[in-house]
Amino acid sequence: MGISIRGRRLMRNSNVLQVSEVKSIDAQLGDLPKGLSFFDPILHHEAKEAIEAGGEVYVYRSTEGHKNGLFIYDGYEATGTIFTKSREAFDHFYSLKPSSYIFSEYEVAEHPKEDWNIWQLDVDKAPLNHRFKHHVSMESDVGELERFMAASQPETNRQWVKVALRNGDKCFVVRIANRIVSIAWMTIVGGVARSHGLYVEPQFRRMGIMSDNLQARIIYLKSRHVHTLINEIPESNISLLFYRLGLPMIVGQLVAGMLVGPFGLGLIRDTTAIDFLATLGIILLLFVVGLELDPRKFGKVGSRVLILSTVECLTAFAVNILSALFRRMGSRDGALSRVRTWSKQHGHSREIDPRSLSRT
């Protein structure tokens, strides 16, 4: 499990001899021990990209001279990532640089945190029976990606895009109306890949875009004979956790609604505003679906669509009529049984004419 820790920290220069800045990845990190992190296979790659994008990398040595901590810091984003199993190394790195966010797998109870689940996907066992709804492609246009990330994720260091593409990172995108609406970055080192930087524009969420993107990445990894895909999911994202369990994401969304709704934790009691937003969301969803419809293709299947729609409407109408009739008959029988019971309790023995119930 990884955690992210909020809070601005001031620089401290104590014990500077134990923390040294890395200038050469091969020379200074060549003997970095295994077991510092779940992300061991890609640590050198991450450190190299950070330095090339203008960031800083620090290594921590214990009093015995052993390297047992790595700190990657991005001054533009004011974020840092700590890789260590040592509390001493964590404390040194935590106060080393001013940070708005610190990411770490090492959990410290006294710091506020947000829990994330880190999970591995066995690419070899992943099925390929997915039906795509959207076209997914790999994008290498630095300018277009920088513009999209500046608009959608302005806190991201723009230098990193060029560096990542130059170092072999892949960016999978989905376009609607000829513009990027979703991206997912993937780093590949040997037989291990890591997904990161996932984003879908808010108005295009809940459309299966990220599922299509994930399946496209899996297909690519299979073609490259990569066996493991590492993903990070915040525990607050219930729908993605359900997807991790092999259940449809919509199940997670329904459970989330039940938990926060008036019949659950009661965090949301007045659903008037939610109903309005839901209606607006449906309108926008239908509009987006219309953007993706090709009138020429729609004309080719128009007759079949008309027949299916007519059958669907007639079937729904018939089911509703039958349901109403059964409910009416059930209400009569229930009312009759209640009247008979009441009559027996009060010593009456006369029968009640069912037809009289319908007249009252």
Inside any domain, residue 286 = no
Inside any domain, residue 273 = no
Residue-wise pLDDT for 37-74, tens only, equals 888 999 999 999 999 999 999 999 888 888 889 999 99
Inside any domain, residue 278 = no
Band (295; pLDDT cuts 50, 70, 90): low
Residues 326 and 349 in one domain: yes
274: three-class secondary structure by DSSP: helix
Please state the domain count of the chain.
3
**Nearest-10 Cα torsion for 22, 27, 33, 39:** 60
Residues 107 and 132 in one domain: no
CA angle 123, 128, 130 (to 5 degrees): 125
C-beta of residue 6 within 8 angstroms of C-beta of residue 112:
yes
Percent of the chain with pLDDT over 90: 31
Residue-wise pLDDT for 326-348, tens only, equals 766 655 444 434 444 343 344 44
pLDDT score of 307 more than 60: yes
Residues 193 and 213 in one domain: yes
Residues 254 and 191 in one domain: yes
Query: Do strands 101-104 and 114-122 pair parallel, antiparallel, or not at all (unpaired)?
Result: unpaired
Report the length, in residues, of the chain: 360
Query: Do strands 101-104 and 79-84 pair parallel, antiparallel, or not at all (unpaired)?
Result: parallel
- Domain end marker among 200, 230, 258: 258
C-beta of residue 71 within 8 angstroms of C-beta of residue 96:
yes
**Residue 209 CB burial class (10 angstroms; 0-12, 13-18, ≥19):** buried
Q: What is the pLDDT of residue 190?
A: 87
The whole-angstrom separation of Cα 298 and Cα 301 is: 5
Inside any domain, residue 296 = no
Residue ranges making up the domain that contains 146: 122-258
Band (167; pLDDT cuts 50, 70, 90): very high
In 3D space, the residue among 116, 188, 197, 97 whose CA is nearest the CA of residue 157 turns out to be 197
Residues 218 and 246 in one domain: yes
- What is the DSSP track for 49-101? HHHHTT-EEEEEE-TTS-EEEEEEEETTTTEEEEEES-HHHHHHHHTTS--SE
Enumerate long-range contacts of 153-157, CB under 8 Å, 24 or more apart: 153/197, 153/199, 155/77, 156/77, 156/197, 157/53, 157/54, 157/55, 157/74, 157/76, 157/77
Q: What is the pLDDT of residue 71?
A: 95
Inside any domain, residue 298 = no
In 3D space, the residue among 158, 208, 149 whose CA is nearest the CA of residue 183 turns out to be 149
